[in-house]
């Protein structure tokens, strides 16, 4: 079996990484910590074996909260990875920082006990190919 290679990086390009391991799965996390750390209503995470990520450009800023570790870009603030030492065999890469996030579709959702009440109805909202009209504009 050939080695899988997954690449990604932050918004501004200051950080790049490569993961040389088998992709395990992706999930959508609704926990309060992920929501606050990302500024988003939920976060897509992709799971890989621990120790398989190498920073190829720059080094992230590390944040420690609730005995867990998050990496972010110190320049643009992009949340990149998550590691929980109570699950030492895995780490999570923010799916949207991978170069081709469409390759990593989520298979489930977790921490729905923290889900924002309106998050489950997002699929009912109007959809626009690009930017939505501004309030008060046609």
* 65 assigned to some structural domain: yes
Closest by CA to 79, choosing from 115, 119, 29, 114, is: 29
User: d(Cα 18, Cα 94) in Å, to the nearest integer?
Assistant: 13
pLDDT digits (tens, 9 = 90+) for 12-71: 999 999 999 999 999 999 999 999 999 999 999 999 999 999 999 999 999 998 889 999
Is residue 3 over pLDDT 80? no
* 46 assigned to some structural domain: yes
The pLDDT, as a whole number, for residue 133 is 85
Q: Dihedral sign for Cα 16, 84, 89, 48, please.
A: negative
pLDDT digits (tens, 9 = 90+) for 104-135: 999 999 999 999 999 989 888 888 889 888 88
User: d(Cα 135, Cα 64) in Å, to the nearest integer?
Assistant: 39
* 25 assigned to some structural domain: yes
pLDDT grade, residue 138 (50/70/90)?
low
Q: Is 62 helix (H, G, I), strand (E, B) or coil?
A: strand
The pLDDT, as a whole number, for residue 78 is 96
The pLDDT, as a whole number, for residue 123 is 86
CB 85, CB 68: distance < 8 Å: yes
Number of domains in the chain: 1
* 48 assigned to some structural domain: yes
* 138 assigned to some structural domain: no
What pTM value is reported for the model? 0.89
User: d(Cα 25, Cα 107) in Å, to the nearest integer?
Assistant: 7
Is residue 1 over pLDDT 60? no
Residue 87 is part of a domain; what is its CATH number?
2.170.150.70
Closest by CA to 99, choosing from 4, 40, 23, 11, is: 11
* 66 assigned to some structural domain: yes
* 86 assigned to some structural domain: yes
* 31 assigned to some structural domain: yes
The domain containing residue 72 runs over which residues? Answer: 5-114
């Amino acid at each position: 079996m050939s080695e899988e290679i997954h690449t990604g990086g932050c918004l501004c390009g200051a950080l790049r990484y490569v993961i040389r391991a088998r992709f395990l799965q992706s999930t959508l996390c609704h926990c309060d910590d992920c929501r606050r750390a990302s500024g988003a209503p939920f976060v897509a995470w992709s799971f890989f074996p621990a120790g398989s990520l190498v920073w190829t450009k720059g080094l992230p800023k590390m944040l420690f909260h609730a005995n867990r570790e998050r990496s972010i870009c110190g320049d643009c603030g992009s949340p990149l990875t998550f590691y929980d030492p109570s699950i030492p065999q895995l780490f999570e890469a923010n799916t949207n920082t991978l170069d081709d996030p469409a390759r990593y579709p989520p298979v489930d959702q977790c921490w729905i006990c923290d889900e924002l009440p309106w998050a489950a109805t997002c699929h009912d909202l109007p959809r626009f190919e690009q930017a939505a009209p501004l309030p008060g504009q046609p």
